[in-house]
Amino acid sequence: MSSDDETYEEERFQCEHIITESHEKAAYGISVCQQTIPGENEETFLFATCAICIYKYDVVDKKSSVQLIQSYCDSDEKEYFYDCKWTTFENNIIVAAGGLRGVVRIIDVAHKCHLKPLRHLGSVNQIAFASGRSTLMASCCSNYAVFLWDAEAALCLANFVGPDQHIQGVLAVDINHEGTFIVSGGLDSTVCVWSTQEKGIIENMAIAKLGPLFREF
């Protein structure tokens, strides 16, 4: 039991590394890569910021380091990314980022190239990948819509929007492990649960399985 009069010894936590990014913009999103990095030790991991900057955290002889390994500049100077997430296409590690201009950039980290962008009609506020079906991506937008994509095939599988659903911008979205349900929430104080098992969506998934429709641009 504790009381308001009880005092606690103050703990001081020390930050291992501090990084100042040269673009000097707010970092709206950070994402840690959960995939194992080939040829690296167990303590090594990648993380990305919405800049899009990709860093590698490493430990050698009990000393940690953080190194900027890749950085991408969007062709649109007005672009501002709000969220980024990691996934895999087959054995390739992928990072995706979306934001103000309504375009989700798909980046193959190993090959250092952009894949086909996923274009929306409103700003992309958040994206999420199904961990058990790594090409399935959910996204939510300022234009009240929630989308389901096969990100590898660059194919929109479904657009969840309608008169009885979100009536203001959608701020948050997530998708379950199997990719069978999406949950979204927004400015209208509404939380919606969407099934991805409708006949039309299943048919679109089958089309996407035929292989990537686009490679690079």
- 115, 106 in Cβ contact below 8 A? yes
Rounded to an integer, what distance in angstroms lies between the CA atom of residue 210 and that of residue 1?
60
For the segment 151-207, what is each residue's pLDDT rounded down to a tens digit? Answer: 999 999 999 987 778 999 999 999 999 999 999 999 999 999 999 999 999 999 999
Contacts of 98 (CB under 8 A, 6+ apart): 81, 82, 83, 84, 104, 105, 118, 120, 124, 126, 127, 139
Rounded to an integer, what distance in angstroms lies between the CA atom of residue 21 and that of residue 43?
24
Task: Provide the sign of the torsion angle of the four alpha carbons 187, 193, 194, 196, taken in this order.
Answer: positive
Domains of the chain from N-terminus onward: 30-208 (2.130.10.10)
For the segment 82-113, what is each residue's pLDDT rounded down to a tens digit? Answer: 999 999 999 899 999 999 999 999 999 999 99
Rounded to an integer, what distance in angstroms lies between the CA atom of residue 136 and that of residue 130?
6
pTM of this structure: 0.87
**Average pLDDT of span 67-82:** 92
Alpha carbon 79 to chain centroid, angstroms? 16
For the segment 13-56, what is each residue's pLDDT rounded down to a tens digit? Answer: 888 999 999 888 889 999 999 998 888 888 999 999 998 999 99
Decide if pLDDT at 217 tops 50.
Answer: no
Tokens of 185: 């929430």
Tokens of 202: 């299943």
Single out the residue of 132, 128, 188 nearest to residue 161, CA to CA: 188
